[in-house]
Amino acid sequence: MTIPRAAKTLRRTRIQEEKEEQILEAALDVFSASGFRGSTIDQIAEVAGMSKPNLLYYFRTKEAMHRALIDRVLYTWLEPLRAFDAEGNPEAEIRSYIRRKLEMARDFPRESRLFANEVLQGAPHIEDELKGPLKELVDEKAEVIRAWAKSGKIVKCDPYHLIFSIWSTTQHYADFDVQVRAVLGQEHSGEGRFEDAARFLEQLFIGGLRPDPLEA
Amino acid sequence: MTIPRAAKTLRRTRIQEEKEEQILEAALDVFSASGFRGSTIDQIAEVAGMSKPNLLYYFRTKEAMHRALIDRVLYTWLEPLRAFDAEGNPEAEIRSYIRRKLEMARDFPRESRLFANEVLQGAPHIEDELKGPLKELVDEKAEVIRAWAKSGKIVKCDPYHLIFSIWSTTQHYADFDVQVRAVLGQEHSGEGRFEDAARFLEQLFIGGLRPDPLEA
DNA sequence: TGTAATGTTTACCAATCGGTCAAATTATCC
DNA sequence: GGATAATTTGACCGATTGGTAAACATTACA
């Protein structure tokens, strides 16, 4: 009798690697475009170019596919924030954080939308990740920012809301891409909008965080 | 033979008003939480407290319900931007725009999520509204901002990206509420977070848009 | 090369989907 | 109060949903 599920095998074969990769790629396409509830296994199967039971051979359920996808993407997604360096120059750190986040919005919009869909619908599948690893990382970086503010390197401000504002402004260009393009019109919808956005956001945040000269 | 659809009657009865109201209220609950594809008529019927065929007596299709809901909410949603006054003081106008948008995120999060879901998933049902009325309104207000920048009342910047950044930072507190609360932790998840956000955002935007003293 | 494990597919299932129908119930108005 | 229009519902429809069973095909490896 054969062991019916790839998950139960101990060593992963070459085919397993390839097919799981192929499936997660398709799943990213579909989940990011329709959210968990709005996506169907059939859609993913079609995009992946294989039969539905074949998908379910590699991932027992729709939830398992979604979870595997999230696990795979989450670590990478937090990389820019992790790179935030306490020792660095505040202005340069914030500038490069904005730039990195904007690059991710441009180059990995599906990943951004995957999380956006999930969080927007109440984060039923990633609540633990938000309250655990994400919160810990943000707490750590918020402490860095707080120290910068205290020492007068940047203006006194709430570090959490600063981080939220960088997240929201940058991810906006991935998550609300259709709206951004609709408003900018055809003539400004080229990739140049990311450079314009970078210029504006750097100006906004650098100017808005410049330490108050009266305090010192 | 009775006319089978309420939509075909010329005068709306009291019952029609009430039930349509009741349905749209339930539809807002469900659509904002799961997006169009992820929502079902049965869910809406249950929330509305009536049978599915009864819903379909007032709105022939799921799409019709969604459309009616969007039409009803869109105008109100754009009210704060419409109130943006060219004659006013730039700093005060921007400050009050931020405040109004934040109030809406706090008081009408479902409306915010309704649009967020829709836009996030490619805006298949509101593309026309985005490219038409929304774009026109934004174009008009962008011109106002551009004039302020030109006359040195605020720093020279791209007005469209300024508007995007106000939208994204404020709506973030509605659309990503779960994430905001998870990161802030239980102790800072009271309604005070909206005041903290308002304080930070006003500081950021007022500081970031202050005209460069070197130019004048 | 044989064979056991791995991978793939066709056919299918019960549950749920959006939506219809006709019958039953309720409100309106003379 | 009775006729007529408006409203409500249970039963139902075909299509789609997530997922299964089992036969079939392929691969890896001795």
Q: What is the DSSP string of A63-115?
A: HHHHHHHHHHHHHHHTHHHHH--TTS-HHHHHHHHHHHHHHHHHH-HHHHHHH
Nucleotides of D under 7 A from a protein CB: 5-11, 16-22, 24, 27-28
d(CA B105, CA B167): 10
Please determine, for residue B10, whether its predicted confidence score (pLDDT) is greater than 70: no
B62 touches strand C (CB under 7 A): yes
Q: Which of A109, A98, A216 is nearest to A167 (CA)?
A: A98
Cβ contact A200–B167 (<8 Å)? no
Q: Show residues of chain B in contact with A38, CB under 8 Å.
A: 34-38, 121
Each residue's pLDDT tens digit, A160-206: 999 999 999 999 999 999 999 999 998 888 889 999 999 999 999 99
User: B215 vs B57, B144, B147, B153, CA distance in Å?
Assistant: 64, 20, 15, 11
Using the Cβ of A43 and the Cβ atoms of chain B, whether some distance falls under 8 Å is answered with: no
Which residues of A, range 109-128, sit inside 8 Å of B by Cβ?
A: 113, 116-117, 119-123, 127
Mean pLDDT confidence for A133-162: 96
SS3 B3: coil
Burial class (CB within 10 angstroms; exposed 0-12, middle 13-18, buried 19+) of B216: exposed
Distance A16 CA to C11 C1' (A): 25
d(CA B214, CA A211): 18
Whether the CB-CB separation of B201 and A201 falls below 8 Å is answered with no
B3 touches strand D (CB under 7 A): yes
Residue in A127, A168, A203 closest to B169 by CB: A168
SS3 A47: helix
Superfamily of domain B78-209: Tetracycline Repressor, domain 2 (1.10.357.10)
* Angle between the N-to-C axes of helices B62-77 and B14-38, in degrees from 0 to 180, rounded to the nearest 10: 100
Whether the CB-CB separation of A98 and A45 falls below 8 Å is answered with no
pLDDT value at residue A88:
87
- The count of other CB atoms within 10 Å of the CB of residue A43 is 18
A194 touches strand C (CB under 7 A): no
Q: Which of A101, A93, A206, A200 is nearest to A155 (CA)?
A: A206
Please determine, for residue A104, whether its predicted confidence score (pLDDT) is greater than 80: yes
The amino acid at residue B112 is S
Using the Cβ of B21 and the Cβ atoms of chain A, whether some distance falls under 8 Å is answered with: no
Cβ contact A183–B160 (<8 Å)? yes
Where does chain B hold its CATH 1.10.10.60 domain(s)? 6-73
Report, at the CATH architecture level, how domain B6-73 is classified: Orthogonal Bundle (1.10)
Each residue's pLDDT tens digit, B155-188: 999 999 999 999 999 999 999 999 999 999 988 8
Q: Could you tell me how many CB contacts below 8 A there are between chain A and chain B?
A: 188
Where does chain B hold its CATH 1.10.357.10 domain(s)? 78-209
Residue A166 DSSP code: H
- In the complex, which nucleotide's C1' lies nearest to the CA atom of residue B54? D8
d(CA B58, CA B70): 16
Cβ contact B134–A33 (<8 Å)? no
Distance B54 CA to D15 C1' (A): 22
A76 touches strand D (CB under 7 A): no
The amino acid at residue A184 is L
Q: Which of A168, A135, A121, A118 is nearest to B171 (CA)?
A: A168
Cβ contact B180–A172 (<8 Å)? no
Give the whole-number percent of chain A exceeding pLDDT 90.
Answer: 84
Measured on CA atoms in the order B48, B53, B57, B62, is the torsion positive or negative? positive
Here the tokens at position B34 are 């799961």
Residue B20 DSSP code: H
- In the complex, which nucleotide's C1' lies nearest to the CA atom of residue A62? D18
Please determine, for residue B8, whether its predicted confidence score (pLDDT) is greater than 60: no
pLDDT value at residue A4:
38
Reported in sequence order, the residue ranges of B73-200 that DSSP labels E, i.e. its strands, are none
Using the Cβ of B165 and the Cβ atoms of chain A, whether some distance falls under 8 Å is answered with: yes
Which strand (E) or helix (H) includes residue B36? helix B14-38
Whether the CB-CB separation of A183 and B138 falls below 8 Å is answered with yes
What does chain A come to in residues? Answer: 216
Each residue's pLDDT tens digit, A26-74: 999 999 999 999 999 999 999 999 999 999 999 999 999 999 999 999 9
Please determine, for residue B7, whether its predicted confidence score (pLDDT) is greater than 50: no
* Chain B interface test: which of A179, A187, A203, A205 (most B C-beta within 10 Å): A179
Whether the CB-CB separation of A52 and A41 falls below 8 Å is answered with yes
Cβ contact A36–B38 (<8 Å)? yes
* Least confident among A86-90, B8-12, B99-103: B8-12
Residue A12 DSSP code: P
Where does chain A hold its CATH 1.10.10.60 domain(s)? 11-73
A41 touches strand D (CB under 7 A): yes
d(CA A48, CA A46): 5
d(CA A195, CA B212): 21
Per-residue 3-state assignment (H helix, E strand, C coil) for B153-210: CCCCCCHHHHHHHHHHHHHHHHHCHHHHHHHHCHHHCCCHHHHHHHHHHHHHHHHHHC
CATH class of the domain defined by A11-73: mainly alpha
Cβ contact B34–A34 (<8 Å)? no
